Structure 1
């Protein structure tokens, strides 16, 4: 880091992220991790967020103040994603009282629009973080409603918000290509969500098997993520019988929650693989690191990803990766010598590619070593420094 950044005054940063500390998704986990790192680097961070049954008034998260506002529940989010509706004057008072230098918008909700309006007379710089993809949202809607037209309208809305910003952060080059209708004067930066390589690393997995009383001799495939349509977990479950036909000791571990869990459990029962599938639900970071290390293959069948933080975490723990070659997924870019791709929504091809890895101990080991090497390029501390540098750059303009 250059002296130019080190000698800069510390900043006051307001992050807009409605479901922070309530709802688990890669972008919100990323927001918390960046906030923690920036806070440790001496900057003051506050969040503008939603009230919820769990957090019904202003509170703190690891020394970070969270201002919470009236909200409504977003359907099909396990009763955890609330969208807030603050008034402009209230946000303006908070931004002024906290002497905010930068407004960092994480998701394009009504609160984001309100906060952007509140900055007008305060001289506050705006950063928009491109974490939202219509393919991640509208797959929840009935087919009669969802489609190309609603995607186009959503991108127009995103472009409107982006064009109010002084800078836009994209988590990947892929995500940058999705937003094209931007004013030429807006600064853009590609900054990975990153992975904490000091935390997510290769360790002995015995503690995991002992804690969950699981046999060590099985070949274990792992999925981590929300149980939502765009994650296409059904494709993974449908592939399991084909894999078991050749590797009967294979098991599938599913980490995460979502409104499709019951449906996925029923699918496993229908295909007679329920005994080979374990739904762990949401687990702690400590257990997440353990399960990454205990698995033999990490699989992401997602149809839409702007980056794919869970892939980076699996890579940092030294695991081979198997990724759906979906046109709306940036995770494809992580596959090099460390894994394979399969045709999206195709259980047969998923099984074929998975068996190539599961049946070859040497290949798994070599892919795992390549994953560790590749993950070093995505250190979250470097990402935080890049974000900090961007803040200072726009404040100088």
Structure 2
């Protein structure tokens, strides 16, 4: 790989990642760095966690909080423009949606090739969309390629259509570091503690930020309506954590739910290893893939997801690796969980299919190779 390919990625915030997009960016940059010098420009972590040592170059901007689900990190713009105008970086890779990425696409020098990974549509901010849609279209006109992880990212999108974007689509599946997704990297003490909490009962796991589109209130209600006995482990935190804890008390299931909060990576791997079933109850297409469900599948776990008509349902194949239910339907979610809890043989069959699916289609090595090939094409023609 020629050393004169020097990509700059604009991310939302710095490692350590606490969400799927940031985890994807971190893994991609770790894979690309041995091939070419990579730079990440992003805001400080919203959790306040210090940025760990990473193999790629990091430029940080102050995080001024959040407004309308967007992080207030305007400082990323001058940092990125300085790198592009000076020639230290000669390719720009954006991760959308992100209004700062849209602005940078329009301000970047015209000779700089621009790539965008389309992670999801904007769903909730309907009041600003009539204005923001024009900015989105301008961004899609500026970029040379639009990467999507699955065909469902296109068919399930209302914003990735028009303006010629369809002709720029390139399918590169999200990759996983499969060597790291093994029990050998898990915290054995956490595994033992979770199994003690389960006390022989099947364990359902979910991982994600406690935000509106994750659908966790429907999961907790579903847990209260299940016929089978199981325990629920919830990894993650967010603005809705207190409400979810209160709902668990109200539904009478708090003694069977373990809220673990944000935990280190070895503890998260322990939860993936210990669980019997993984569920991703997200209710909005803001959840366009579900990286945590992919990691659970790599551990050989069956999944229960919602029918969102996008990449979630390409990754989680209904009736093969997963059970899919209508969103916002606690009764249907309870029935799907009951079915897997009551049938260990079905769990094993779906779990084995899930592991095989991930190994065949979602490796980090394939993702890095395809991305590097795209960079080479854009920089050298």
Q: TM-score range by the shorter chain?
A: 0.7 to 0.9
**Residue 112 of structure 1: aligned partner:** 101
Which residue of 287, 297, 316 maps to 1:315? 297
Deviations 1:56-86 (A, max 9, x none): 99x8741322222354210487xxx743213
* Structure 2 SS opposite 1:341: strand
**Residue 394 of structure 1: aligned partner:** 378
For residues 68 and 91 of structure 2, what CA distance do their matches in structure 1 show?
Answer: 32
**Residue 188 of structure 1: aligned partner:** 169
Matched, 1:86 2:75: yes
> CA contact under 8 A between 1:89 and 1:118: conserved in structure 2?
no
Structure-2 change in CA distance of 1:151 and 1:220 (3 Å): farther
Structure-2 change in CA distance of 1:321 and 1:115 (3 Å): same
Deviations 1:213-266 (A, max 9, x none): 5344121111111111101011110011222xx323x10111111100000000
* Structure 2 SS opposite 1:17: strand
TM-score, with normalisation over the residues of structure 2?
0.88
Residue 51 of structure 1 deviates from its aligned partner by: 4.7
For residues 181 and 340 of structure 1, what CA distance do their matches in structure 2 show?
Answer: 33
**Residue 11 of structure 2: aligned partner:** 17
**Residue 179 of structure 2: aligned partner:** 198
Structure-2 change in CA distance of 1:185 and 1:256 (3 Å): closer
Residue 18 of structure 1 deviates from its aligned partner by: 3.0
For residues 214 and 46 of structure 2, what CA distance do their matches in structure 1 show?
Answer: 27
**Residue 142 of structure 1: aligned partner:** none
Instruction: Give the count of matched residue pairs.
Output: 371
Structure 1: unaligned runs, 5 residues or longer: 1-6, 139-145
For residues 223 and 52 of structure 2, what CA distance do their matches in structure 1 show?
Answer: 43
Greater CA drift, 224-233 or 177-186: 177-186
**Residue 36 of structure 1: aligned partner:** 30
Structure 2: unaligned runs, 5 residues or longer: none
Q: 1:1-397 counterparts in 2 under 5 A?
A: 7-9=1-3, 11-21=5-15, 24-39=18-33, 41-51=34-44, 61-75=53-67, 82-86=71-75, 91-97=80-86, 99-120=88-109, 123-135=111-123, 138=124, 146-147=125-126, 150-151=128-129, 153-177=131-155, 178=157, 179-183=160-164, 187-201=168-182, 207-212=189-194, 213-243=196-226, 246-248=227-229, 250-303=230-283, 304=285, 305-327=287-309, 329-333=310-314, 334-336=316-318, 337-376=320-359, 377-397=361-381
Q: CA RMSD in A?
A: 2.8
